[in-house]
Chain A
Amino acid sequence: MTVENLTDLTVLIVEDEPLIAMSIEDVLMDHGVTCVGPAGSVGAALEMIKAGGFNIALLDVNLRGERVDAVADRLAAEGIPFVFTTGHGAEGLPDAHRGRPVIAKPFRDIDITNALSRHRPS
């Protein structure tokens, strides 16, 4: 699959593990994607949503032991698409958002770019 042009995207990264966040940033920047964040806690993520300036989000399911449900709820309410990243499998997803796309950790670069092109805002 050829990766389509993602340069028009700005992605909010919600991830509590700095190494993983850096790795995601690398993939995105390699594809000319602009990054916002990373937000490492629910509070920081909600602040960044308030500030806006992005059009899709990558969402870790668990941030320092706190579930990310409130962040997913807010994004859904704002109509901003998002993709979960998780080591838990689908059963760890917030109940209200089970239908959302999931990237399993550890992931390949192409898993990130594919998910973004598939679920980018239309």
Chain B
Amino acid sequence: MARLLHSATAMPPPGFGGAKVPPAQDRATVFCRVLLLEDNGMDADLVREHLLLIDDHEFEVRRVDTRKDFIDAVNADGDFDLILSDFDLPDFDGMSALAIARERLPRVPFIFVSGMLGEENAIEALKKGATDYVVKLRMERLQVVVRRALVEARDRNELADKRQALAESEARLRFALEAGRLGSWELTLATGQMRVSQICAANLGLADPAELATYDALLRRVHPEDREYQQAAVRQAVASGSALEVEYRTVWPDGSLHWVQIRGRAVYDRDGIATGLAGVSLNITDRKKAEERQLLLLEELNHRVKNTLAMVQSIAKQTLRATPSVEAFPDAFQSRLRALAQAHDLLTRRQWQGASLSEIAALTLEPHMEAGRVQVSGPGVTLTTGVAVSLHLAFHELATNAAKYGALSTGSGRIDLNWNLVRQPLESRNAPERDALVLHWRESGGPPVVPPTRRGFGSRLIERGLSHELEGEVSLAFDATGVQCRLVIPLSARVSPQ
């Protein structure tokens, strides 16, 4: 509100017409800070007077007359537009002042104003970087010299500023391109000449950008099957003015295959004729590999889900066959389903890279181990996922049977699960001697065992399923003193020592 009020009062009422507005072409006054090194007060005044004669300029003169004051002024407050200096001073000399000024304030014009300055000194001074000189006998020259020095300095400094800004801008762009691993490129359509950056060349497996001096040279780096597609995309971008966006494969000189993504746009002249294309390139090999991996994983997941469904179906059917009554089915089925889910949990924790035999044993037996009813021991053995699931389901069947009828069904029984790596020939095949995992499940202290009249799901899974899965020997015995199970599994990539 206050501002509104202020501007309203500041504006002359319409038609008031009294005040004279200065003509628009009047130049603004140039304000200049001058550092004047002069020991003689009268000479200093003379300089001031002559500066006053220069039109459109207002000078603020700071005079110093000693070496120390000059250096302080240059160091502490370098914001000068002009330095005027005497040549001879009691404790100082103009050439030293010039040297200091050139080092500290290289952009500020430096003019000698001196009573006497021989030709030799004048030449030497100009060589060392003085802008000009004025002898005191011809002080009227000062106006012209100062005016010219200021204009030239302003032009020179503006150009330097622009160059520096441009260099900084280019450096920032280059930094961004490099940080983003983006290569840059330009194509001149009339000649087919290309200019590419180091990264752009590196994206195509080349160390030297000069190897991609033409579009034809570039095309040779593109995978033969992608060349036509690449060229069509370029033609389309030139013809339609739409963005060029294309991904293609490139074969590096070492024969390896990589993916490159290109983004660009056509460049047009004043008549709207396309003269070239320019853009960036990015190595997207990692992304492409990740996409391929993801596709594979999805397929693998689909396969695994279907396979798991088939396993669940199989467990359901076989549990139904083996259970004596429909009432007994849900409990038996759900318990097996839970065992399957436990195995999946463990394998997921291990990124489906397999599991160790002791982990698998603990999955089923841990509660009983803590109660001191089950003792488990054996060296480290790594199992692949399929073997881990099968062994876990087998242990689950053995443990369930033990809890219902065997060693874990009374307070006094116990189970010993031990394994060892031994060198032993397989009995049933004429295979050469090879290392094997021998695993024993021994129940003791339970009620006398009555062998089942027919083999149930558990027995079948262990005897048929395990021997099939492990390509080994499996024996399951219902000894009167306790159930004994012995596995002899040849070591392989699927069952290996840790």
Contacts and interface: CB of A to CB of B under 8 A. Distances in A.
A21 B469 CA distance: 10
A28 to B, nearest CB: 13
A19 B309 contact: no
Interface string B310-322: 1111110110010
A118 to B, nearest CB: 21
Contacts of B123: none
A26 B321 contact: yes
A20 B314 CA distance: 6
B310 A38 contact: no
A21 B467 CA distance: 12
Interface in A1-33: 16-23, 26
Given A23-B318, A106-B313, A64 B494 contact: yes
B299 interface: yes
Interface in B5-42: none
Is chain B's interface secondary structure helix, strand, loop, or mixed overall?
Answer: helix
B489 to A, nearest CB: 13
A105 B469 contact: no
Given A87-B310, A106-B309, A106-B310, A18 B302 contact: no
Contact of A62 (B303, B309, B468): B303
A26 B320 CA distance: 12
B346 interface: no
Interface of B: 299, 302-307, 309-315, 317-318, 321, 384, 386, 390, 393, 460-461, 464-466, 468-469, 471, 494
24 contacts: A17-B310, A17-B311, A18-B464, A18-B469, A19-B310, A19-B311, A19-B393, A19-B461, A20-B314, A21-B465, A21-B468, A22-B460, A22-B465, A23-B317, A62-B303, A64-B386, A64-B494, A87-B302, A87-B307, A87-B310, A88-B299, A88-B302, A89-B302, A105-B306
Interface of A: 16-23, 26, 38, 40-41, 44, 62, 64, 87-89, 92, 104-107
